[in-house]
Amino acid sequence: MILLSYGTAIIIFAIGLYTLLFRRNLFKVVIALALMEGGVLLLITSLGYIPHGVPALLPLMGQQAVNPLPQSFTLTAIVIGASDIALALAYIIKIYRHYGTVDVDQIRGLRG
Amino acid sequence: MNPVFAVLLPLVTAFLIPLGFIFFRKALPALVFFGASLSSLGGFFVALLGWSGISVVMGGWTPELGIALQVDALSASFLVLTSLGFPLALLSSAEWLGWNSWRFYVIFFLSWASTNGILVAGDIFNLFVFFEVFSVSAYLLVSFPASSWQAVEASFKYLVFGTLGALFLLLGISYTFMATEQLNMGILKDLFPAIPPPTLAVIGGCLLGGLLVKCGTVPAHFWLPDAHSSARPPISALLSGVLVKAPLYALLRLGMLFFLPALPKFFPLLLFFGTLSLGVGHLMAIQQEQIKRMLAYSTVAQIGTILLGIACASSLGITASLYHVFTHMSSKMGLFLVAGIFLEDRQVHKISDMRGFLRHRPFLVAAFALFAASLAGIPPLSGFQSKWLLLLACAEKGYLVPAIFLLGGTVISAAYYLKALGAFCSPAETPPPHHRTHRVTQGAVAFLVAFSLVLALLPWLPFTKEFLLTLSSGRFFP
């Protein structure tokens, strides 16, 4: 079960990487970054799982909780990723206002 | 002194600047300069006291859970670099940008705080968090003010590459956590050799890939020339002189701590990418028509040079790298500041049009010549000495091809700096339309000239040579 989660995470990451490398639309580039981030975060969250663990909320009632440390990392990383993506979208708006396109090939400085 | 002050002082200043702008607009320059001097002094103090090693855990947690901060000789020397480089860039940008753009100062101090944070972070997740604050503030610095389309595009490109690098870094960190359940660097150091080799190779690949993208080494260097050349001159100086050193510090730290004992294959890869960057950077620099792009490609080459020393993984190699980090900081900051003044005087971008500066600004041309000579490696200057140490380190390890690239790079860089100097010294039909005197920036250039001369004297003094070599003699984590 947990292997399925790891596998999904890496497949999402790979889809993101493929999109980033081979798509020429700026929005798709940002979606790719968001997908890659989602993949890594899914991986981190799955790391803390232990079989039959309950969510790490007090009181635990004598049950075994999952490791809360990766979840706190995920929260931090989500905030970071959100700021990255917000900034990227703001730049796309600026670029679109100037060039009237979001195609990488038609924007002078973004080729290569 | 707790190393957290190196992060806290610039961070508090960054938060106070908007308040200062709203309530005491007249006092904003005083607040900025006061904050900058405190942050700089704090950085120096932490560096001085942390020389023999401090490590603390914040908030009363155990080292496994809490936020660990550590300073040792390696981070202390990089702290000296930031405590010198940031105030110089701040003084110069106050002159270029004025006091109406308070947002710039907020971003600037955030960038300062996060760079210091990278240097004092004692666990790898905090390293990642500080890297992201560092990167976001760097993207914003590149596109400030957001009126230039070129800068916005460059910043977007930087963002895409930077986020890609950060995600690989995060992937590497999560694999490390998966393998060891630990994030504290001091604890991980002992756990790394026990990780099975295939896992270790994946972790090493992710961390190396992420950090190399963030440094701007060759296969992923496309963002660097755009970002460094389209920012405003003092910001270009800051980006090329100081900010680019933070990922290099992380490579040095993680490489020496984790991969030297556990995964020796890490270093030949580093050597390959370093040599590639060195060659391609110099070859691209000589083809550039615009002066700032030429300087930016030269930065790519110098990053490769610094990577060579790290890849040697010997005490001599690391010393040479650290020394070259300082050489490159002083020279490249100076080159970007002088080039910025020249560009503003002439309002042209091509090197061949930038004529007649020898009559007009003789001291700045002389300073440019000195910095260029130092970076190209003309004998008494510090660039020559660091390259000599690097050559010795390469020879010690038997790395012949990188050594040849290093020598070839010296010739090529001399050629492109001479091209620029030749244009500056050739007579012009019309004198440049003089815009501003730039007293403060000229003062910063004079300071950098003095600093490079002091750096050049350093290895000649009898005690400092020993001192330079002890910097790296395995004193990581006391």
The CA distance from B177 to B188, in Å, is 10
What is B188-226 written as a DSSP string?
HHHHGGGS-HHHHHHHHHHHHHHHHHHHT-GGG-THHHH
What residue in A sits closest to B219 (Cα-Cα)? Answer: A112
The confidence score (pLDDT) of residue B203 equals 93
What residue in B sits closest to A17 (Cα-Cα)? Answer: B164
The confidence score (pLDDT) of residue B468 equals 62
Average pLDDT rounded to a whole number, residues B424-441: 79
Burial class (CB in 10 A: 0-12, 13-18, 19+), A86: exposed
- Under 8 Å CB pairs connecting chains A and B tally to 84
> What percent of chain B has pLDDT above 90?
48
The CA distance from A93 to B471, in Å, is 48
A102 touches B: beta carbon within 8 Å = no
What residue in B sits closest to A38 (Cα-Cα)? Answer: B167
What residue in A sits closest to B182 (Cα-Cα)? Answer: A69
Question: Which of A52-61, B449-458, B463-472 is predicted most confidently?
Answer: B449-458
- Measured between beta carbons, the chain B residues lying within 8 angstroms of A77 are 128, 170
pLDDT at B476 over 50: no
For chain B, give the mean pLDDT.
Answer: 88
Confidence of residue B11 (pLDDT cuts 50, 70, 90): very high
Average pLDDT rounded to a whole number, residues B421-430: 83
* B474 vs B455: which has the higher pLDDT: B455
* B112 vs B2: which has the higher pLDDT: B112
What residue in B sits closest to A78 (Cα-Cα)? Answer: B129
Question: Which of B51-55, B275-279, B468-472 is predicted most confidently?
Answer: B275-279
CA of A46, closest CA in chain B: separation in Å?
10
Average pLDDT rounded to a whole number, residues B144-169: 88
The CA distance from B118 to B323, in Å, is 20
Q: Measure CB to CB from residue A98 to each of B149, B155, B226 and give the nearest one.
A: B149
A98 touches B: beta carbon within 8 Å = yes
Confidence of residue B261 (pLDDT cuts 50, 70, 90): confident
Q: Which residues on neighbouring strands pair with residue B71, listed in sequence order?
A: B54
What residue in A sits closest to B167 (Cα-Cα)? Answer: A37
pLDDT at B430 over 80: no
Q: Measure CB to CB from residue B171 to each of A40, A94, A98 and give the nearest one.
A: A40
Confidence of residue B477 (pLDDT cuts 50, 70, 90): very low
Residue B368: name the closest of B424, B312, B415 by CA.
B424
Run of H or E including B156:
helix B149-180
Instruction: Name the least confident of B8-22, B39-53, B419-433.
Output: B419-433
The CA distance from B247 to B134, in Å, is 10
- Measured between beta carbons, the chain A residues lying within 8 angstroms of B184 are none
Residue A8 token pair: 């999904």
> What percent of chain B has pLDDT above 70?
96
Note whether B160 contacts A29, CB cutoff 8 Å. Answer: yes
Inter-residue contact B276 to B406 (CB < 8 Å): no
CA of B123, closest CA in chain A: separation in Å?
12
- Measured between beta carbons, the chain B residues lying within 8 angstroms of A13 are 167, 171
For the entire predicted model, the pTM comes to 0.92
- Residue B429 is which amino acid? E
Note whether A110 contacts B132, CB cutoff 8 Å. Answer: no
Q: Which tens digit of pLDDT belongs to each residue from B373-410?
A: 999 988 888 889 889 989 988 988 888 999 999 999 99
Note whether A109 contacts B222, CB cutoff 8 Å. Answer: no
Q: Measure CB to CB from residue B178 to each of A33, A47, A112 and give the nearest one.
A: A47
Q: Which tens digit of pLDDT belongs to each residue from A25-63?
A: 999 999 999 999 999 999 998 888 888 777 777 777 777
Instruction: Name the least confident of A90-104, B41-55, B304-318, B463-477.
Output: B463-477
Q: Measure CB to CB from residue A109 to each of B150, B164, B181 and give the nearest one.
A: B150
The confidence score (pLDDT) of residue B425 equals 87
The confidence score (pLDDT) of residue B474 equals 47
Confidence of residue B300 (pLDDT cuts 50, 70, 90): very high
Note whether B226 contacts A109, CB cutoff 8 Å. Answer: yes
Residue B247: name the closest of B206, B207, B278 by CA.
B207
Q: Which tens digit of pLDDT belongs to each residue from A64-102?
A: 888 888 888 899 999 999 999 999 999 999 889 888 888
Q: Which tens digit of pLDDT belongs to each residue from B178-203?
A: 898 888 888 888 888 888 999 999 99
- Measured between beta carbons, the chain B residues lying within 8 angstroms of A33 are 160, 163-164, 167
The confidence score (pLDDT) of residue B368 equals 92
Q: Measure CB to CB from residue A112 to each of B164, B171, B222 and give the nearest one.
A: B222
Average pLDDT rounded to a whole number, residues B456-476: 64
Note whether A91 contacts B177, CB cutoff 8 Å. Answer: no
Confidence of residue B208 (pLDDT cuts 50, 70, 90): very high
What residue in B sits closest to A31 (Cα-Cα)? Answer: B160
Burial class (CB in 10 A: 0-12, 13-18, 19+), B100: exposed
Q: Measure CB to CB from residue B163 to each of A43, A84, A94 and give the nearest one.
A: A84
Note whether A47 contacts B174, CB cutoff 8 Å. Answer: yes
Average pLDDT rounded to a whole number, residues B319-329: 91
pLDDT at B325 over 90: yes
- Chain length of chain B: 478
CA of A62, closest CA in chain B: separation in Å?
22
pLDDT at B460 over 80: no
Which residues 18-77 in chain A show a CB within 8 A of chain B?
Answer: 20, 26, 29, 33, 36-37, 40, 43-44, 47, 67, 69-70, 73, 76-77
What residue in A sits closest to B126 (Cα-Cα)? Answer: A73
* B97 vs A1: which has the higher pLDDT: B97
Average pLDDT rounded to a whole number, residues A8-24: 92
Confidence of residue B55 (pLDDT cuts 50, 70, 90): confident
